[in-house]
Amino acid sequence: MSTTATTASVSTHILDTSTGRPATDVAVSLAARSGSGAAWVALGGSRTDADGRCKDLPALPVETAQVRLDFGTEAYFVSRDQAGEQARDQAEAQQDASRARDSGTSFFPEVTITFTVTPGEHYHVPLLLSPFGYSVYRGS
């Protein structure tokens, strides 16, 4: 697969709607394929920055028809919960850690979004995330 200036491009960002803050340091991987029956080709990935944005996702090959974004949400919620525990006193932190082990820190350990692209267009796909739900849309 080759890339040119006429290929589609992709960007994303993540907002943790449970805190109203950007989701930082979330692993995001990008894959592409030339159509529904074709095999996925892993293109690489990135991590969200302090604003919850991935500014350096790989370019798409020119024959790309469909794109897949994979978000590593479980590690984000584990890290976020651990940071919150450190801010509380020790007894409260132990209770929270016990509850987190019993119920899991996120219902969705990963989020995968697949969408169709047209050459020459830009696709911004924001992820609105909480421990028990998410939504996506085509942004601008």
Structure tokens, 67: 């794109």
The stretch 12-38 carries a mean pLDDT of 96
- Tell me the whole-structure pTM to 2 decimals: 0.81
3-class DSSP state for residue 98?
Answer: helix
- Phi then psi for residue 91, to 5 deg, are -65, -45
3-class DSSP state for residue 50?
Answer: coil
The sign one gets for the Cα dihedral 52, 89, 133, 34 is: positive
CATH number of the domain at 20-73+110-136, please?
2.60.40.180
* Residue where the block lists tokens 């290929």: 7
Provide the residue ranges of all domains of the chain, joining segments of one domain with +.
Answer: 20-73+110-136
Tens-place pLDDT, residues 52-91: 999 899 999 999 999 999 999 999 998 887 765 555 555 5
Distance in angstroms (rounded) separating the CA atoms of residues 107 and 133: 8
Tens-place pLDDT, residues 28-61: 999 999 999 999 999 999 999 999 999 899 999 9
Q: Between the CA atoms of 37, 39, 40 and 42, what dihedral angle is there, to the nearest 10 degrees?
A: -160
Distance in angstroms (rounded) separating the CA atoms of residues 127 and 12: 7
